[in-house]
Structure 1
Amino acid sequence: MYKIILADDEKWVRVVLRKAVEQTKLPVTIVQECANGLEALDAVRKHEADLVISDVKMPIMDGIGLAEQMAGMTANLVLVSGFDDFHFAQKAIRYGVKDYLLKPVEMEAMADCLERWIQGRAMLKEAMGSDTLQTVTAELSVIEQVQQFVAANLAKDIALTDVAAFVHLNPSYLSQLFKQQTGGKFVDYVIEMRIEEAKRLLVKTSLRVFEIAERLGYGDIAYFSNTFKKLTGSSPLEYRKNGGKP
């Protein structure tokens, strides 16, 4: 039996999710229900769970934060989201989120999701010996450390050599490993993270555009604005005016 954690700050949603999981009649069991991502993270470690099914929006630690923290774990994550934040939830793919379920979650959708996940899990176990699995887990842990380093140093000039020294790896090897595990280049990831933080600051704060640019390590506001528009399709001011919608 695969062990599952449910995470949602609303009890009635957890009831719906539990019912949907149980109705699938698949070889899974719910070992704990949690009200936020931090509780879910502790529960994964406590129960050595295989899968977390989590809402995107929760207090203390939301689903995206949970995805980031689980990036180096063998346990997997499925996110549940409403229509309005579904596009936002998709961005968690960089952290290895396995699937997305759109509210309201029906049994058929849950069954399809769990069947795909179980099949993938079985294939992974069959294809990998224990030594290989340990190696993959170690590599994922390194990537998690790199992502945490980037998140903590967005205002600085983040060089691959600095990150490589932080995780005690050769820069060339780290570059290859990062692309292998995330599907993208390290330098592009740094830019994406800066723009994601800029988007958050534009919507959640009253900081002026040049202040946000400086906070994210951009000394040239024109370059920042051009980069922002290239990745989002709108200028920083347009993004703020539209309430976070492109």
Structure 2
Amino acid sequence: MMHIMDRTGTSLAYVKLGVNALTCARVRAETASLSELSSRRLQGVVVPEVIDSGTWDDLDYLIMSPVHDGPPAEPSLTRRRRASESLVGAFPSYDSSVADAPWWTNALSSLETKRGDSDAERLMSAAARLQDKFGRVTLRHGACHGDWTPWNMAARDDDAIAVWDWERFAENRPAGWDALHFHVASYRGDAATGLRSARRHLAEIITGVSHPHEREAILATYLLHRGCTFLADRQEAAGAPNGPLGRWLLPALEELV
């Protein structure tokens, strides 16, 4: 990503340019997400505006307005929850059992394309047990940022939150995934320990859900979906620190189901 500034150091724009099929797809996804978000009334959430988008030398690009200038300050829990509620409230939400949700069907289909991969086979086995244990659990579904982390947001002086990196935005995810992702991403330590911490503190992380079984279902589905994403993006081959799912995600999911 390129940061464009004037001679005084004032931010003018940010530019994303895809360099391969995966990153070009992400640029297109973020462009679509920002265009959709611009038509919604968000309270307490400031989203980049699309200045321009298209292709250059067969590569996708996106030029966005800045939403925060200066050192980022992590928003408080109260601000984050208010922002998350605003995002969910700006789009339709609905109740669905785990097994009937569109994302569940997509997850199983993506795993089918990875048959033979050892991590995919473990995820498929875990998915079968997850369906037996949580398949009929009804969860609230709605809008989800998809990468709700401290480094993708900043507190603003106007009491709002600036939020960027919307390439994983989706409208039909279980409520609670963003809050879980923030906790795991924020944990100071390895990812496996972060997941154990998330399970211990589910009641504080996932609010608005009264039954422990539902909270465990949200955690299990989050782990399955994230595992599918890691495989689809070939994170291990790309050298991502948490690329090998067997070191952290798979043991946590298999313990749950």
TM-score, normalized by length of structure 2? Answer: 0.29
Structure with greater strand percent: 2
Higher RCO (CA 8 Å, separation ≥ 6 residues): 2
TM-score, normalized by length of structure 1? Answer: 0.30
Structure with greater helix percent: 1
